[in-house]
A = this chain, B = another copy of it.
Amino acid sequence: MPQLTSGEFSLVYNLLSFTFAAMLASFIFFVLSREQVAPQYRGAMVMAALVVAIAGYHYFRIFDSWNAAYTISNNAFVSSGKPFNDAYRYVDWFLTVPLLIAELIAVMGLALDKRGSLTARLVIAAAAMIALGYPGEIATSTMTRAIFGTLSTLPFLYIVYELFVRLGPVINAEAGQAKVLLRNIRLLLIGTWGFYPIVFMIPLFFGDAKNATAVVAVQIGYCVADVLAKCGYGIMIYAIARAKTTAEAAKAPVAAGALATPSNR
């Protein structure tokens, strides 16, 4: 690890702690808010809770690893000799990214026969995207980083294609607020997921994966992207489930009454 100033070290340290707190709060929110949505959308809320629980665990470990990787010497933060374990992020994404895709499909409420094969294809593409990124992340050569970064983009482009070309008509068939929210969450997914490759490429601009500014910028970038793509995304999933619950309750007043009774909580 490169030598850091006190300010650089603390910025990453506090941002990792902030991200853990955001994951913890989101987990509690998603667990407690399941009851506010109709039963058919609770699966999506459970997946949102799983994503932030897994991420919370990994941020706890990343925070500890960051701390252990540095020691103070002459007012500067220097490498303690222990490695900073970047692999936590990839293990996290390997588990959470397929869940984020499954979460979106679950909240759409597609017919069961269509849902299975679509979920399987997108989940495999998401896992491939992460697995192909990892060899680039741990590479010391920027060329290897660029090659695996490019390979990892291919399954990402396939996911974008499925979300726009295949799922476009499904989203357009929705009504009112749910339609607007589904369009927005698709943009959030593509925007945040598109942000990760930019962070991944930061070391290329510096020509060195162990440049101090590059190391700090990569940590900041991944934290911000994770908060938006996991907590923000989950809150939008909740908003969509709420909008669809309300719309469906308006259509079928009996079911709506049952859902609104106190004993239901």
Chain A positions near chain B (C-beta within 8 angstroms): 6, 10, 13-14, 17-18, 20-22, 24-25, 28-29, 31-36, 39, 42-43, 46, 49-50, 53-54, 57-58, 61, 72, 81-83, 85, 87-88, 91-92, 94-95, 258, 260-265
Contact = CB atoms under 8 A, between A and B. Distances in A.
Contacts of A34: 32
Contacts of A42: 35-36
A34 B31 CA distance: 13
Given A33-B46, A82-B72, A10 B87 contact: yes
Given A34-B32, A260-B39, A14 B54 contact: no
Given A31-B32, A32-B31, A82-B72, A21 B262 contact: no
B53 A24 contact: yes
A10 B72 CA distance: 25
B85 A10 contact: yes
B81 A72 contact: yes
A221 B43 CA distance: 31
B260 A261 contact: no
A21 B263 contact: no
B258 A258 contact: no
Contacts of A14: 85, 87-88, 91
Contacts of A264: 262, 265
Contacts of A13: 85
A58 B21 contact: yes
A25 to B, nearest CB: 5
Nearest to A31: B32
Contact of A21 (B29, B92, B265): B92
Given A14-B88, A21-B57, 11 more contacts: A17-B91, A22-B95, A25-B50, A28-B50, A28-B53, A29-B46, A31-B32, A33-B46, A35-B42, A36-B42, A262-B265
Nearest to A14: B87
Contacts of A32: 31, 34, 46, 49
Given A61-B17, A258-B262, A263-B262, A28 B10 contact: no
